[in-house]
């Protein structure tokens, strides 16, 4: 599945998800992200309900590229749960990095890491989400 289709299935997409781990298996051409995805409703009555998160693993198969920009060396983490991220597609006007053209079924996207003020660029063929709730 394409990353955009997977994101549409989530209540808030990957907006303000927390990333605690990134793992690349070059032999299997696979990237895994450990995330806490925001599943609370913005209209919920309490702050806790609005900020409710659910742990999951985002697995990207058919990995063709993963490029991580150098982050701001003066940055600090603001959460013990992970780094605050957003995900998007298309060009990033503030970056000199250009996502490569893709051939179906591959897709390219970026992950913005707020604490680093930097991007991770990924090209892969399939995205899958596994919930980790007990």
Residue 59, pLDDT score? 98
Length of the chain: 134
| DSSP-derived 3-state class of residue 95 | coil
Report the number of distinct structural domains present in the chain.
1
Residue 129 pLDDT > 90, yes or no? yes
Average pLDDT over the chain, rounded to whole? 90
Structural domain containing residue 20: 3-131
Q: What is the pLDDT of residue 37?
A: 96
Element (H, E) at 56: strand 53-61
- What pLDDT was estimated at residue 96? 72
The pLDDT of 101-130, averaged and rounded, is: 92
pLDDT on residue 5: 95
What pLDDT was estimated at residue 79?
A: 67
Please check the confidence at residue 95 and state whether its pLDDT lies above 80. no
Q: How many CB atoms lie within 10 A of CB 131?
A: 10
The pLDDT value given to residue 9 = 95
User: Does pLDDT of 78 surpass 90?
Assistant: no
- The closest alpha carbon to 36, from 22, 24, 52, 18, belongs to 18
pLDDT tier for residue 74 given thresholds of 50, 70 and 90: confident
Q: What is the per-residue pLDDT for 34?
A: 97
């Amino acid at each position: 599945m394409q990353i955009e289709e997977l994101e549409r299935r989530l209540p808030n997409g990957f907006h303000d998800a927390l990333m605690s781990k990134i793992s690349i298996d070059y032999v299997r051409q696979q990237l895994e992200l450990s995330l806490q995805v925001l599943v609370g409703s913005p209209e919920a009555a309490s702050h806790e309900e609005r900020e409710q998160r659910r742990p999951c693993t985002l697995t990207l198969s058919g990995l063709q590229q993963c490029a991580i920009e150098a982050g701001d060396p003066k940055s600090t983490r603001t959460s013990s749960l992970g780094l605050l991220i957003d995900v998007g597609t298309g060009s990033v006007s503030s970056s000199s990095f250009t996502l490569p053209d893709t051939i179906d079924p591959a897709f390219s996207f970026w992950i913005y890491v707020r604490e680093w003020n930097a991007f991770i660029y990924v090209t892969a063929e399939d995205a899958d989400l596994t919930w980790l709730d007990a």
